[in-house]
Structure 1
Amino acid sequence: MRSKLFVPASRPELFAKALAGAADALSFDLEDSVTPERKPQARADLRVLLESSDALASDKTLIVRVNALSTPHFAADIDAVARNGVSLVNLPKPEHPDDVLAAAAALEAAERANGVSAPIGLLLNVESPRALRQAAELAAAHPRVAGLQLGLGDLFEPLGIARRENAAIEQAMFALRIAAGEANVFAYDSAFANIKDADGFRAEAQLARAFGFIGKSCIHPSQIAIANDVFRPPDEDIAHAVRVVVAAREADAKGVGAYVVDGRMIDPPFVERARVLVSDAARLGLLSDEQRAVAGI
């Protein structure tokens, strides 16, 4: 999920183009991009899409950002979007583990009512000081939580923190990534509002990748290619990871715990990272036939 494109649920004319686009994931938005008076129609239009053959046949990760649990729109949102083919519900503004538990319970009830065959996960937005402080507790509150998503605009603006202040961005990214690691879920990066600043988007995406985030939110199709490029494992990293996986297999057979690959000392944490990278590369079709063979894929 290198790239995730936000698609306003109030713009059904954009649905087909989004499904045909290059984003790994689509996040249909019922929250900020839809005014209150348009939410019922947006909800209805989105439900039609989610039940369509085009959506069910799509290989994209389909996500819906619902309205916050505290709003009068949440229950109707969940009922409308708990459909087969939806991978994640993006929950804005959770402040307490009880919020996560309530959202999970509502989602489970809607799945039963709608005949959903596979459980839908939760992607939690971390966009307030309280949520950032207890992000690990939020992520660990329920098994449905798949990831944490950083919301820098909502987090910074009320505090008067400049959105482009790198020191603040780095601290927020690090805190969120460590919390996600503690809960064993993924970390996902924030949106970048300046559509015309492609270099700024790329720089922030590169920072997120360096901090272990798996992808970046896109608010415009022009940002998709940049996110896909930044979060694509480099060929040299893939090649090294394959060599580590092969060396680990040989070392395990010999009972060796630490060894050297490409001049680097390798032990279990590096092996685990290499296996994840090889798996990601295989999923993205980036392994050669020879690499697949030697890696045992």
Structure 2
Amino acid sequence: MRSKLFVPGVRPELFAKALAGDADALSFDLEDSVPVEAKDMARGAVVQCLRSEAARVSGKILIVRSNALDSAHGEADLLSLAGTGVDMVNLPKVERVDEVLAAVALLERAESMQGVGQPIRLLLTIETPCGLRRAAQLASAHPRVAGLQLGLADLFEPLGIDRRDPANLHAALFELRVAAGMAGVFACDGAFADLRDDAAFRVEALMARRLGYIGKSCIHPRQVPLANDVFRASADEIARARRIVEAADRAAAEGRAAFVVDGQMIDPPFVKRAQAMLASVRETDGGSNKPLS
């Protein structure tokens, strides 16, 4: 999931173009981009799109960013999604384990009523100081949690933290990535609002990739190729990963757990990373990122 494009639920005229575009994942938004008076309309439009043949054959990871559960619309959002083919629900501003469990209970209820066997997973957006401090606990709250997403605007702006300072950016990205690692889930970078500054978007994306994030959120289609490029494994990286995996197979046959590749001592953590990279490349080349869901 190198790129995750937000698609406003209130703009159904954009759905077909997004489904045919280059983003690995689409996040249909029912929250911030939808005015209160249009919430019901947007929900209906998104559900109709998710049930369409175009969505089914798109090969994309399909996500819906719901309204918060303590809002007037969060419960209706979750109850509407069972049986639509959606892969994940993106819960905004999560701070407490009971919020995660309440979302799980709603999804279980809806899936039971619809007779759905494939459970909808959860992507938790961490965008408050409290949420960041509890991120590992939140990510471990239930097996349905697939990943954590960082919301830097909501996290930094109220606190007066300068997002353009690399030290500040690194601190937040690192903390969330470690929390995701503790829970065994993926970490996805958040959106970057300045559509004119491709260089700054790339700086954030590169830092996230070096910290082990799987991709970056995009708020406009023009950002999608930037994210895809940054999070695409290079030919040299793929070749090295193959050398490591092949050497690991030979070493295992000889009863060795450690060996040398390109002058570097390699043991199981390096092998696991190489295997994960090759698996990700196969998924992208095959046109489907569905294993994340």
Whether TM exceeds 0.5 here: the answer is yes
- The aligned amino acid for 1:196 is R
Could you tell me which residue of structure 2 aligns to residue 258 of structure 1? 258
Could you tell me which residue of structure 2 aligns to residue 289 of structure 1? none
Could you tell me which residue of structure 2 aligns to residue 150 of structure 1? 150
- The offset of 1:94, in angstroms, is 1.3
- The offset of 1:108, in angstroms, is 1.1
1:43-122 pair list within 5 angstroms: 43-122=43-122
Report whether the alignment pairs 1:164 with 2:164.
yes
**Aligned to 1:274, what secondary structure does the other structure show?**
helix
Residue pair 1:56, 1:84 contacting (<8 A) in 2 also: no
- The aligned amino acid for 1:198 is D
Could you tell me which residue of structure 2 aligns to residue 16 of structure 1? 16
Report whether the alignment pairs 1:236 with 2:236.
yes
Q: TM-score, normalised by structure 1?
A: 0.94
Report whether the alignment pairs 1:267 with 2:272.
no
Could you tell me which residue of structure 2 aligns to residue 293 of structure 1? none
- The offset of 1:176, in angstroms, is 0.3
- The offset of 1:88, in angstroms, is 0.4
Could you tell me which residue of structure 1 aligns to residue 36 of structure 2? 36
Q: Which runs of 5+ in 2 are unaligned?
A: 287-293
1:120-150 deviation digits (Å, cap 9, x = unpaired): 1000000000110010000000000000000
Residue pair 2:190, 2:217 contacting (<8 A) in 1 also: yes
- The aligned amino acid for 2:254 is K
State the distance in 2 between where 1:127 and 1:79 align: 24
- The offset of 1:281, in angstroms, is 1.5
State the distance in 1 between where 2:83 and 2:166 align: 39
- The aligned amino acid for 1:94 is V
Cα RMSD over matched residues? 1.0
- The aligned amino acid for 2:134 is Q
Could you tell me which residue of structure 2 aligns to residue 284 of structure 1? 284
Could you tell me which residue of structure 2 aligns to residue 295 of structure 1? none
Residue pair 1:84, 1:117 contacting (<8 A) in 2 also: no
Runs of 4+ in structure 1 off by over 3 angstroms are none
1:180-195 pair list within 5 angstroms: 180-195=180-195
State the distance in 2 between where 1:222 and 1:200 align: 14
State the distance in 2 between where 1:29 and 1:117 align: 25
Q: Which runs of 5+ in 1 are unaligned?
A: 287-297
- The offset of 1:79, in angstroms, is 1.8
- The offset of 1:217, in angstroms, is 0.1
Could you tell me which residue of structure 1 aligns to residue 291 of structure 2? none
1:168-223 deviation digits (Å, cap 9, x = unpaired): 11000000000000000000001000001111111110010001000000000000
**Aligned to 1:284, what secondary structure does the other structure show?**
helix
- Residues matched between the structures, number: 286
- The offset of 1:262, in angstroms, is 1.0
State the distance in 1 between where 2:115 and 2:9 align: 23
Report whether the alignment pairs 1:201 with 2:198.
no
- The aligned amino acid for 1:204 is E
State the distance in 2 between where 1:33 and 1:19 align: 19
Residue pair 2:47, 2:84 contacting (<8 A) in 1 also: no
Deviates more, 1:225-234 or 1:106-115: 106-115
State the distance in 1 between where 2:215 and 2:254 align: 37
Q: TM-score, normalised by structure 2?
A: 0.96
- The aligned amino acid for 2:280 is D
State the distance in 2 between where 1:56 and 1:283 align: 17
State the distance in 2 between where 1:50 and 1:277 align: 29
- The offset of 1:151, in angstroms, is 0.3
Could you tell me which residue of structure 2 aligns to residue 292 of structure 1? none
Deviates more, 1:194-203 or 1:276-285: 276-285
